[in-house]
Structure 1
Amino acid sequence: MFWYYLKTAARNILTNRKFSIINIVGFAFAISICLAIFLFVTNEYSNDLYNKNVDQIVRIINTKDNSSNIDYRVKDILQKNIPDIQNACLALRSGHPVWVEYTGKGYYLDDIMSVDNDFFEVFTVSFISQLQSPVFTGINSAVMTETTARKLFGAEPPLGKDILIWGIIPVTISGIIKDFPDNSSLRAGLLVNAENIKFKFNRWIGDSRDSSTYMWPFQIYFQLEKNVDTKTLSEKINENIDILKPYVKQIGFLKLKDIYLHDTTTGSDTKKGNPDLLNLLTVIALIILFLAVINYVNLTVAQQVKHNKHTGIRKVFGAKRNNIIYNFLTESLLVIFLGFILGIMLLWFLIPYYQNLFKSSISINTLFQIPYIIILPVAVLIIGLISGVGPSIVLTRIAPVKILTGSTFTPSKKNYLRNALIVFQFTISIILIFCVIIVQRQIQYVKHSNPGFNEEQLLRLDLPPIRENDRSKAMTLLGEVRKSPYIKNLSLTSGVPGEIRMYMNSNMENTAKDMSVPCLLVDTSFLKTFGLKVVRGRDLQPGDLDKVCMINETAYRHFEFESLENKRFNNFGGFDIIGVVNDFNYSSLHKAIGPVCIMFTSKSMPSAINIRFASNSVGPGMDNIKKLWEDILTSYPFKYQFYDDWFDSMYKSEEYFARTISLFAILAIAISCIGILGLAIFSSERRTKEIGIRKINGAKVSEILLLLNREFISLVIIAYLIAVPLASYAMYKWLESFAYKTDLSWWIYFLSGLLALIIALATVSWQSWRAATRNPVEALRYE
């Protein structure tokens, strides 16, 4: 019997080729898209799961400041006092590219990571070779990944070789490890010994008069004993928090498997995913699949009404309803199976494109592994059954006499199911259109918001640590650059807006608002170079250097100052607060502007030369600076970035989010349009006689078009009323991740509805036009 159903289903598919091709291709595209999203989402959720102790590894966080920056000494204190801790390690990424040299040749490493020996015990790291165990035997020991070793050493054995970091810090390669997996949140090409103070990349100053108050923040990971409850453990530690003072006042734990997608702490430099993107992509995948099922139902019903009296004939000759239902289900399963095979082929063909789109190493081979090789056939079976149930129920409950006489569907009968499907299609389209507009608008808003300083024609030139015997060359370079006619202003800074890596305790008298304040160490040209304005207090005067500082407006409000009289930070020998500058962004607009201190000093080691070009002088100015650098600081890399480009780059993840969502939204709308087209065919076919009679009685083509499209327009309006609150809620939730956000203007609501209406009319009008321009005699003869 099964073979009979299969042959009948195949014959129906071949007989109705046009609709069958639309159904199969529609399912193929939907399945290809859904599988690509499935591969990406599962790959994202697999981050860090390769670690054999992943369920026992946690990172300690400062819950008071919501920070992952914890002084390295906390590790030993807790390890000594808490028996539930099996092991612990330090890890801190440099946070910026680092210049590495070997025999005079070098290149930038995207990142290096400062770790201790225990890191290789806590995390699953595969050694290819090593000089000794433990691998770090001295503060200048280093471990390198095989890819980095190949780039730097070629075929030469790297073990025991010395390299230079930043041109001045020698380290010895004592181990080679396999590259970190793509799904690791902790990744680096070079791992250096955290015991070396030069690799404690961050610093917090408590009181510069007392070096014991200096703090060196790291991310600290603990490997707990099995089945330890992190909440109970953190409560236990917080009850005895005095053992951790002055390093931290309140702690919590973040599980390793949650770090990639759910880490919202500051100071964490690990790779992060976007859970909002994953959730939205999952919803879109389900919508696309649901739309494909709806399309199948719509087109199957439409083509059965138009072409098939087979059901009625079979009923007349005694076929039971169950037999006909089995036939429909077999046909739907065959269509889904063919769509699935074509979808797999399409996915295989498009996998390089999906890898580039998702920036992920997804592989189609994953689908042929357990448990997916079992899950997918079951999913195909379920989808096929669901797709076939609708048409089988609708088309088997009708009396055979009605089917054979053509009176199955009459204009007087309201089809609530059909209207519900149309409303659903339009609702999805409007929501997706609305979301895409808001996402794109927010990206443009943050990229073009005023950062509080003039970022145009402002260059950041990285200044690496300079060897002692080359410092005179650096001074010569600065002198030559200052003389350049293309340069308007120049400022040396340690830390820059967008990258502040030094903090100090506010350490002020008569204030209860003590906090860790981000610090910029700058020269006297900083305000002029960046275009910052003094809004309170006084400007710099001769003799102020190394004695005074300024704060931003947010800091002024935070400390609840009424005036600046006798206000000072007691760090670095004491700095009087003489002025307040306007607020400016020193991080992305995800975060509200926080307090910041600008210390005017000549005693810091600058990390950047900030150059303001004269008008229309960027091109020749860059050529001039590059030539001076290459002539004077020949052995140092020339690395620069314009501030406007740099701040734009902070929103790469949002741009990626916008591109990805926009693409899949367009695909979902396109698949939705196929279903709407099917319903338009359904509508026009069931009203063929009515259209013919109206035309014979003098109705114009425009009147027929209005007649056929009017119902769709009313359904678009209903869908709009449903979609607006849903889309608004979704976008309000998404915008909550930004401290500064665009508003949901009235025109966005209007445009979303208008675009949906245009898409709907463009989709149905083609079929409506065909029906309206048909010869009425043929229409009546057909009926």
Structure 2
Amino acid sequence: MIRNYFTVAWRNLIRNKAFSAINMLGLALGMACSLLILLWVQDEHSVDGFHANGKYLYQVYERQQFDGKTEASYSTQGLLADELKRLIPEVQYASSLEWNNPFTFQVGDRINKMEGTFAGADFFRMFSYKLLQGNPETALDAPNGIAISRKMADQFFGSPEKAIGKAIRYENKDDLTVTAVFDNLPANSSQQFDFLRTWKDYVKVNDWVNNWSNYNPSTFIQLRPGADPAKVEAKIKAFTYRFKPKSKAIVEELALQPYPEKYLHSTFKNGQLDGGRIEYVRLFSLVALFILIIACINFMNLATARSAKRAKEVGVRKVVGAVRSALMGQFVGEAMLLTFFSIIIAVSLVALLLPAFNTLTGKQLILPVSQPAFWATLLGLLTLTGFVSGSYPALFLSAMSPIRVLKGSLRFSPGATLFRKSLVVFQFALSMLLIVGMIVMYRQMDYIQTKNLGYNRENLIYIPLEGELGQKYTLFKEEAGKMAGVLTISRMRGTPTVISHHTGDFGWPGKDPNQAISFADETVGYDFVKTMKLQLKEGRDFSKAFGTDSLGFLVNETALAKMGYKNRTVGSSIGQPLSWGQRQGTIIGILKDFHFTSMHQAIEPLIVRLDEKRQWGTVLVRTEAGKTKEALVSLEKVCKELNPRFPFTYQFSDQEFTRLYQSEQMASQLANYFAILAIFISCLGLFGLATFTAEQRTKEIGVRKVLGASVTSVVTLLSRDFLKPVLIAILCTTPVAWYAMSQWLESFAYKIDIEWWMFALAGSIAIGIALLTIGFQSIKAALMNPVKSLRSE
């Protein structure tokens, strides 16, 4: 019997090639999309899940209440890790970790830049990064020691075995000893580095670490088995006050987050963890489900549209004794067979699209064909999709009355018609959600990219201030300034794209001693305002013509308002006293607010001071429009002459700015592709409904034409009925889409307004594509010979 079912199913597929092709295409596209998203979601959930001690690993974050608000961040004190391990019995291991930076290394004549940082002695005891050479107990314990990756060992020494115990030159000033070689970090590790230096070396050259009011590194701890995380968190809540006095102006609290959760949950709101990448994981999981449902609905509509041609087959089978369960089994079996072929096409599409998908998402996904779980997933997808898509046609066709069918009086109840149209409404409702999302995301990304940041990021280049370039900066500026294409040069500690350093150690006349304000602070060189093309509201830039500028400050408008100078008379803020720690100075210029962090955050108060002596940081070079390539050649020549042991590297300001929004850009691009795919599959479903309706109204159309109806009137009649589900979908979806996109935009401090025309455009797109889909079938039905229509059964 089963063999007979499959024989009949195969014959039906072959006999109706166009129908089968459309059905398989819709299902294949839906399943391919779902598989791609499933692979991405699985990879996102797998990040940092490989650590053997994962259930005991926690990251410490700090919550601060000040100035009427509560904020939190992962930046902690540099001494915190060691003190937590020393004073909290439940803490077995603890490690600090600085942020990654590129550094230059040399062995013999091999010179290269590698990304890495500093970490505590317990780091390799806590995290499951495989050591190829060395001991995790001592790898990061010895002064001037360094642990390097397999890749780094191969580049500089030829192999991990040859690297151990050898010397490597760091930044052309320190000779370090390779104490360990670790395997290249897996792609699903949120931490990515090529080397780690000892924390002892970091503390030795960073005196600020010894001050409990300074923050920067991350702190990780590993609890002992059996320790209660909630009790440990309560115990360390006020831990920092063991080392510094409490302040009325600011309240500090420490808290814990399970480390494996940090990658997906890393956004803070009002001092509490509130989302992160998990929002996109949930979003695209829903998108995958939506598109799969749309594909299944498409199958249902197309199968139902063909039901009239299979009605007699069902009637004959029932007359000769076929029971309903057997008929249902046959139609579900046909759906399974078609789904099987669709899934083969889907897997082929996934294999073909994976390289492009990886480029878009920044992943290294592969088809896990060697894993049984992958085949189990495919089997589950086959079963679920085949059953869902074939269930309604099976129920509908198996319920037909054989007497009515064989008499030729097949009619479909209003309830059945309403159900099919409801499926189309649901399809287009999901498609509308994706189209609105596509429009809003595109507009927000365009707004970010084109918004006036307060400085000109075009033709602005960042060059790292490293090696001898730090000592020879003045000479570099003189020589490079003479080169063609170079307009102005300045320097700063960080970069204009992200000024992350903060302090509350500022004072001014009238400051409330009980008020704590966190200021972003930056050190820069001469010509900073000119090079950045910032706007001065009052005062002037730092200048060599004024010998006292080493005690001068530039402040932005937000900082001025925080100091209470906002309401003074124009110009009176210039010359006002301002202190930074023990440095006493005056305000010499007021900068108009400009963006120096992501637009997810509001512009913060910023204070800038002059520092031409710092040996590290970033050189800012403003080039002449159209002459950037020429300028880069000249800059490389000067850098190689003055800093021969360091490779010439640079970054464009606009590229660095774009990196701040990688997740949003990825989401926006994926939304574009998924919206197009959803509307395409939905139109296949609409085509199915049009086919079904045309078959049901063949005689009606013939009668209308005999009575004088024109082709235009018939097309209008059919199209009007077809467009009703689309219009209902638009009306139902608009408030849902508005709410969903409003929630997404809430994560941006600077965002677009959701306007009516976005929904009108989305609706017009849906209606326009629907009309194109409907038009072909409607015109075909309207042009049919009325004589043939009236003779049809």
Aligned partners of 2:21 and 2:576: how far apart in 1? 81
Which residue is equivalent to 1:24?
24
The question of 1:59 aligning with 2:59 is answered yes
Contact 2:132 2:181 in 1 (8 A): yes
The question of 1:287 aligning with 2:287 is answered no
1:83 counterpart letter in structure 2: P
Aligned partners of 1:619 and 1:424: how far apart in 2? 54
Contact 1:306 1:685 in 2 (8 A): no
SS of match in other structure, 2:495: coil
Aligned partners of 1:772 and 1:318: how far apart in 2? 40
Which residue is equivalent to 1:84?
90
Q: Shift in Å at residue 583 of structure 1?
A: 0.9
1:253 counterpart letter in structure 2: L
Query: Kindly tell me: are residues 315 and 72 of structure 1, through their superposed partners in 2, closer, same or farther at Cα, counting changes over 3 Å?
Result: same
For these two proteins, the number of residue pairs brought into alignment is 766
Which residue is equivalent to 1:589?
599
Which residue is equivalent to 1:555?
559
Structure 1 unaligned blocks of 5 or more: 206-210, 267-271
SS of match in other structure, 1:456: coil
The question of 1:256 aligning with 2:255 is answered no
Contact 1:116 1:193 in 2 (8 A): yes
Which residue is equivalent to 2:68?
none
Aligned partners of 2:358 and 2:484: how far apart in 1? 47
Q: Shift in Å at residue 556 of structure 1?
A: 2.0
Query: Kindly tell me: are residues 239 and 217 of structure 1, through their superposed partners in 2, closer, same or farther at Cα, counting changes over 3 Å?
Result: closer
SS of match in other structure, 2:763: helix
Q: Shift in Å at residue 656 of structure 1?
A: 1.8
Aligned partners of 1:611 and 1:428: how far apart in 2? 49
Contact 1:507 1:514 in 2 (8 A): no
Aligned partners of 2:169 and 2:460: how far apart in 1? 31
1:66 counterpart letter in structure 2: A
Q: Shift in Å at residue 307 of structure 1?
A: 4.6
Aligned partners of 1:289 and 1:131: how far apart in 2? 50
Contact 1:505 1:517 in 2 (8 A): yes
Which residue is equivalent to 1:627?
637
Which residue is equivalent to 1:489?
488
Q: Shift in Å at residue 615 of structure 1?
A: 5.3
1:542 counterpart letter in structure 2: F
Which residue is equivalent to 2:660?
650
Aligned partners of 1:152 and 1:665: how far apart in 2? 48
Pick which of 246-255 and 719-728 moved more: 246-255
After superposition, the C-alpha distances for 1:307-340 in whole angstroms (9 at most, x for unaligned) are 5410011222332222222222222222223323
The question of 1:304 aligning with 2:314 is answered no
Q: Shift in Å at residue 677 of structure 1?
A: 1.0
Which structure 2 residues correspond to residues 216-255 of structure 1 after superposition, within 5 A?
A: 217-238=216-237, 242-245=241-244, 249-255=252-258
Contact 1:521 1:600 in 2 (8 A): yes
Pick which of 591-600 and 563-572 moved more: 563-572
Query: Kindly tell me: are residues 332 and 403 of structure 1, through their superposed partners in 2, closer, same or farther at Cα, counting changes over 3 Å?
Result: same
Which residue is equivalent to 2:725?
715
Which residue is equivalent to 2:118?
114
Aligned partners of 2:146 and 2:609: how far apart in 1? 35
The question of 1:150 aligning with 2:154 is answered yes
Which residue is equivalent to 1:524?
526
Aligned partners of 1:671 and 1:68: how far apart in 2? 44
Task: From 698, 702, 723, give the equivalent of 1:692.
Answer: 702
Which residue is equivalent to 2:194?
189
Q: Shift in Å at residue 265 of structure 1?
A: 5.5
Which residue is equivalent to 1:208?
none
SS of match in other structure, 1:407: coil
Contact 1:194 1:200 in 2 (8 A): no
Contact 1:204 1:505 in 2 (8 A): no
Q: Shift in Å at residue 774 of structure 1?
A: 1.5
1:57 counterpart letter in structure 2: L
Aligned partners of 1:516 and 1:637: how far apart in 2? 37
Q: Shift in Å at residue 160 of structure 1?
A: 2.2
After superposition, the C-alpha distances for 1:207-263 in whole angstroms (9 at most, x for unaligned) are xxxx75673632111111235443443223225652253698211111111111111
Pick which of 57-66 and 74-83 moved more: 74-83
Q: Shift in Å at residue 410 of structure 1?
A: 6.2
Query: Kindly tell me: are residues 614 and 320 of structure 1, through their superposed partners in 2, closer, same or farther at Cα, counting changes over 3 Å?
Result: closer
After superposition, the C-alpha distances for 1:679-711 in whole angstroms (9 at most, x for unaligned) are 111111111111111122222211111011001
After superposition, the C-alpha distances for 1:396-453 in whole angstroms (9 at most, x for unaligned) are 2232232223332369887111210121122122211111011111111101111111
Which structure 2 residues correspond to residues 748-759 of structure 1 after superposition, within 5 A?
A: 748-759=758-769
Task: From 753, 776, 787, give the equivalent of 1:766.
Answer: 776
Which residue is equivalent to 1:269?
none
Query: Kindly tell me: are residues 690 and 465 of structure 1, through their superposed partners in 2, closer, same or farther at Cα, counting changes over 3 Å?
Result: same
- TM-score normalised to structure 1 length: 0.92
Query: Kindly tell me: are residues 179 and 317 of structure 1, through their superposed partners in 2, closer, same or farther at Cα, counting changes over 3 Å?
Result: same
Aligned partners of 1:244 and 1:312: how far apart in 2? 87
SS of match in other structure, 1:546: helix
Task: From 103, 110, 116, give the equivalent of 1:105.
Answer: 110
Aligned partners of 2:405 and 2:359: how far apart in 1? 52
Contact 1:114 1:200 in 2 (8 A): no
Query: Kindly tell me: are residues 634 and 80 of structure 1, through their superposed partners in 2, closer, same or farther at Cα, counting changes over 3 Å?
Result: closer
Aligned partners of 1:685 and 1:196: how far apart in 2? 81
Q: Shift in Å at residue 188 of structure 1?
A: 0.4
Contact 1:192 1:199 in 2 (8 A): no
Which residue is equivalent to 2:477?
478
Aligned partners of 1:284 and 1:558: how far apart in 2? 44
Contact 2:558 2:603 in 1 (8 A): yes
Q: Shift in Å at residue 460 of structure 1?
A: 2.2
Contact 2:476 2:639 in 1 (8 A): yes
Aligned partners of 1:340 and 1:458: how far apart in 2? 50
Which residue is equivalent to 1:38?
38
1:128 counterpart letter in structure 2: L
Aligned partners of 1:600 and 1:572: how far apart in 2? 15
Structure 2 unaligned blocks of 5 or more: 65-70, 270-274
Query: Kindly tell me: are residues 443 and 233 of structure 1, through their superposed partners in 2, closer, same or farther at Cα, counting changes over 3 Å?
Result: same
After superposition, the C-alpha distances for 1:473-505 in whole angstroms (9 at most, x for unaligned) are x44322212334643322122223123354433
Contact 1:204 1:503 in 2 (8 A): no
Contact 1:447 1:651 in 2 (8 A): no
Which residue is equivalent to 2:326?
323
Which residue is equivalent to 2:175?
170
Aligned partners of 2:553 and 2:745: how far apart in 1? 35
Q: Shift in Å at residue 196 of structure 1?
A: 0.8
Pick which of 670-679 and 532-541 moved more: 532-541
Contact 2:453 2:594 in 1 (8 A): yes
2:605 counterpart letter in structure 1: P
Aligned partners of 1:668 and 1:729: how far apart in 2? 20
- C-alpha RMSD of matched pairs (Å): 2.7
The question of 1:641 aligning with 2:651 is answered yes
Pick which of 52-61 and 232-241 moved more: 232-241
Query: Kindly tell me: are residues 704 and 494 of structure 1, through their superposed partners in 2, closer, same or farther at Cα, counting changes over 3 Å?
Result: same
The question of 1:705 aligning with 2:715 is answered yes
Aligned partners of 1:222 and 1:341: how far apart in 2? 47
